[in-house]
């Protein structure tokens, strides 16, 4: 697998995302995955908010998340079926504003894939929209897939045999988050100005339709359920 991060100019709020991608990517080979950071998707959708006072961010976090609890450093939230810090609302590289998550990353990924497929005349390829996240009891951030199109996000080993013939009961590989983590590592988190990346020869199964819930799990079935007992529902 090869990942090529792409350096660009600073994406401006309200800028045309499709034109931006076409400016920096002249060709997309078959069987590739285009990675787009969620921040420029959000900026293209004008998903920003001015910081009016000290209550602006906490109020937005509550509004944007399904559940929220204040912690020592950030708000621990659940948004779009995922646990994340502060509902994904970010102040870094935001030029004095707050940048929210895209409205619907799966829909945006699908639209980008359809539009760029016609432009580049390719058949098998995918689009992946990424963000960063933290993992309990681990320091630092890794990548996460907010939305994707054109490939299966989950590889299921259940029912197959391991090298000694024992059948897997639970093993599944999260392809989407794995690709996101690898791509975000090369794209950077600071002033690298690499909001795009092109992945070639990725171990994915391309598909016309994806199940946006395939990588999600119900809280009641999650192994981390005991941790959620401390979460409280956001106040309306």
Domains parsed from the chain with CATH numbers: 2-47+102-215 (3.30.1330.100)
Instruction: Identify the pLDDT of residue 230.
Output: 60
CA distance linking residue 177 with residue 111, whole number of Å: 20
Instruction: Identify the pLDDT of residue 162.
Output: 87
Give, for 113, the enclosing helix (H) or strand (E). Answer: helix 105-120
The whole model's pTM is what? 0.91
Strands (E), 109-226: 125-134, 141-149, 154-156, 172-174, 196-200
Mean pLDDT by 10 residues, the chain (236 residues): 97 96 96 97 96 93 92 89 92 87 97 95 96 90 97 89 85 94 95 96 95 89 75 45
Instruction: Identify the pLDDT of residue 129.
Output: 98
Instruction: Identify the pLDDT of residue 23.
Output: 97
Backbone angles phi, psi at 34, to 5 degrees: -90, 125
Strands (E), 46-105: 48-50, 67-70, 75-79, 82-85, 97-99
Instruction: Identify the pLDDT of residue 155.
Output: 87
Instruction: Identify the pLDDT of residue 67.
Output: 87
**8 Å CB contact between 130 and 145:** yes
Give the contacts of 141 (CB within 8 A, at least 6 positions apart). 132, 133, 134, 184, 189
CA distance linking residue 57 with residue 69, whole number of Å: 14
Q: Strand 125-134 relative to strand 32-37: parallel, antiparallel, unpaired?
A: parallel
Which residue, among 59, 150, 142, has the nearest Cα to 98 in the 3D structure? 59
User: 143 is written with which tokens?
Assistant: 């990548």
**């630092």: which residue's tokens?**
140
**């609890």: which residue's tokens?**
69
Starting at the edge strand found earlier in the chain, the sheet holding 67-70 runs: 67-70, 75-79, 82-85
CA distance linking residue 206 with residue 146, whole number of Å: 18
Give the contacts of 232 (CB within 8 A, at least 6 positions apart). 67, 69
Instruction: Identify the pLDDT of residue 233.
Output: 47
**């897997």: which residue's tokens?**
168
């Amino acid at each position: 697998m090869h990942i090529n991060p792409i350096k660009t100019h600073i994406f401006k709020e309200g800028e045309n995302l499709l034109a931006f991608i076409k400016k920096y990517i002249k060709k997309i080979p078959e069987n590739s995955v285009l990675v787009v950071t969620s921040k420029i998707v959000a900026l293209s959708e004008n998903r920003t908010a001015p910081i009016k006072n000290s209550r602006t961010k906490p109020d937005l976090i509550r509004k944007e998340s399904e559940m929220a609890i204040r912690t020592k450093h950030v708000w621990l939230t659940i948004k779009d079926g995922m646990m994340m810090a502060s509902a994904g609302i970010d102040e870094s590289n935001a030029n004095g504003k707050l940048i929210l998550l895209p409205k619907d990353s799966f829909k945006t990924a699908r639209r980008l894939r359809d539009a760029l497929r016609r432009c580049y005349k390719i058949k098998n390829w995918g689009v992946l929209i990424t963000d960063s996240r933290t993992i309990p009891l681990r320091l630092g951030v890794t990548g996460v897939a907010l939305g994707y199109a054109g490939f299966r996000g989950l590889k299921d080993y259940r029912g197959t045999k391991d090298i000694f013939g024992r059948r897997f009961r639970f093993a599944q590989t999260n392809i989407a988050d794995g690709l996101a983590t690898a791509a975000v590592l090369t794209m950077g988190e600071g002033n690298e100005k690499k909001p795009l990346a092109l992945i070639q020869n990725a171990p994915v199964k391309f598909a016309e339709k994806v199940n946006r819930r395939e990588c999600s799990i119900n809280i009641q079935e999650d192994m981390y359920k005991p941790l959620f007992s401390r979460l409280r529902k956001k106040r309306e």
